[in-house]
Structure 1
Amino acid sequence: MTTYTLFTDPHLGTRRAAHTTRDSSKRLTEALYRQAKTIVDNHPSPLCLGDLFDRAFNDEATLVQGYNIAGMCEFTIAGNHDETNREGSVPSLRALSQMGVPVIAAQCLGDPCFQEWADGIYVVPHHASQELFERALQGAADHASEYHVGRPTVLMLHCNYDCAFAQEDDTLNLSAGMAQALLEQFDLILLGHEHKPASHFDGRVVILGNTHPTSFADISNKYVYTLEITDDAVSLEKECIWSAAVQHTTVRFGDYDALAALDTVLSAEFIDVIGTAGAEQAVEVAEFIQAVWTSAPNAFAVRNSVHIGDALGDVEINEAPKLVDLKTKIVDDLEGSDLQALYKELLQEVEA
């Protein structure tokens, strides 16, 4: 029996502005690294299924973090955040590969890429287009059908699953129909990329989910997985390493008694302030939010979800706007697009 530890999407170097302070954002960035480091330090034969980094190009400190994580892994798959889809560029993950860190990435952006990393374990990294991605999937299935008839096989990917919104050519998507066809050859399909864990086809298609929330948007239980492969079977078990019920907390606006307990709840990392207030209470809401921060000095993010009622109905009270420089605004506006990585690379060249 061979045993591997699976995790994905640590997003090293993540920095958040919304619902954070400068210090709490730094704490979140460090927590993402600590979580990944704990996994590779305490679990056998770790495999990372993509998005080691939050951005393709990173500063030296984040690059060292990536080396400390990926250097302990049997391999790291190149995810969409790790790549630029531009031939000739050397993003951080490819730089680690040139340093001898085991990375599975497409060698040429114009060619489909799959790799049988170990006996019956197939890996398809991020590709520059959906068409190339599907050709790589077919190549892996054809190879497995020829060389592994009647033997356990596992397919590891970094992509969306059955996502109707994956319309851009480089937004890779494994449809349910594609998954069903691949399951005729593979016993198990494991996906990185989506941050909330899920399973389909009676647990044969598993979205691993990331290792730690990067914001309120991806709060859910987080897991590390144990994959066991024998001569005639595969099995997957999971262990919870971050609990949404424990580490995501709500506090009702005006409940100052609840704040008194926050400083003893060291696990309260993400805090939602909920409730309703009158329009004349806007200043009180802001003061209460500040009191939450004071009472929870170890929190990563505090979100103002208080609503007020006026003649127009319930309206959410937004936090005071933060002043950001133009470069930061452009980076935020380009979030999720390939142009963000290009802009950051050009910015680094100008500022060098």
Structure 2
Amino acid sequence: MSALLPTYLRHDIELVAGNGSFVQDKAGKNYLDFVMGIAVCNTGHRHPHVEQALQEQLQKLWHTSNLFMSSKQERVAAMLTENSHLSHVFFCNSGTEANEGAFKLIRKWTQKKEILTFSQSFHGRTFAMMGATGQDKIKAGFGEMVPDFKHLTFNDFDSLEMITNQTAAVWLEVIQGEGGVIVAENAWLEALMEKARQYDVKVVIDEVQTGIGRTGSRFAFEQTPLKPDIITVAKGLGSGFPVGAIITTPEATAVFTPGTHGSTFGGNPLAMAAAEATLDVLLNEQQMKQVQQKGLYLMQQLKQLPETMVVDVRGRGLMIGIEFHEPVSSLITALQQAGMLVVSAGPNVIRLLPSLCVTEQELDLAVGKIKTVCQQEVMM
């Protein structure tokens, strides 16, 4: 009997080693990993540059306190904000923590309570972020939520009429990951931004899954008309090491002053070593072009899947969803048996989140496995 609380429906696979795009289970079976910790290991498993940075830092210092200066934090913050209207960073340990901090920042900044989020969104599992999330299954059994969140319909122009001078912030994902890999339409985002400006409403973008190069730009919002006041990042920032961040504008420095927010472990030396090395690898123009090109190549190959099974293939960069007519749980199991790991995004969508350093040969291998499994399902 396990001593763990049963909060996860786990696959009967224990992964013990990884390198690049591949992982190995304790029985010695190898898998092509298109989960990457759910968009976490953006550099792949054990990228040499990130591994070396962590090993070097392990020999120096593991933890101090945010009561002392940190040149590593300063360097990573500069890497996240350079060439952007965003200018200041707060470091924490996860996406949910970043979102909770953003919630506090918005409340103090605007002195208003109403925050508009969207149906099928996902912003985390802490109590306030359950309220922000537009999925009832996340909230079931926990009683009354934080009352300040109202959920609008994603990509719906009429919903934007809910933005008024009573609204503190509009909070959204540019691509809803957990909600089914739903991509926001640029015309709708432009209308949202115009409404936000009209009523002096803050725009918060949850880039926890889409950020750090996943969509072919540093942040997904950079490919849209949005100009956010706050973005939150985590997942891909540390190549598997826990680290999150709130990234915001100069005006926030008058709101988050000493004593207003904190994190014991946030921005610790190991996290910053992992983050700095990760950004070294990913946030350059050549790498972003490769993500865009590989994403287009993968989408083109996947659109050859049989229409009798597939409703749609959508996404941006290397964040791709395949929507099927039927639930995908059996397909996920079949792919595992074929030596490939994928994750769902709702009952009918398989989400592909490979390493951003994935090779074209590995993409071909993935497509081959998916096609084979789909053919087997058709024949059954």
Shorter-chain TM-score range: 0.3 to 0.5
TM-score, structure 1 as length reference: 0.34
Q: Which has the higher contact order (CA 8 A, sep 6+)?
A: 2
Q: TM-score, normalised by structure 2?
A: 0.32
Higher strand proportion: 1
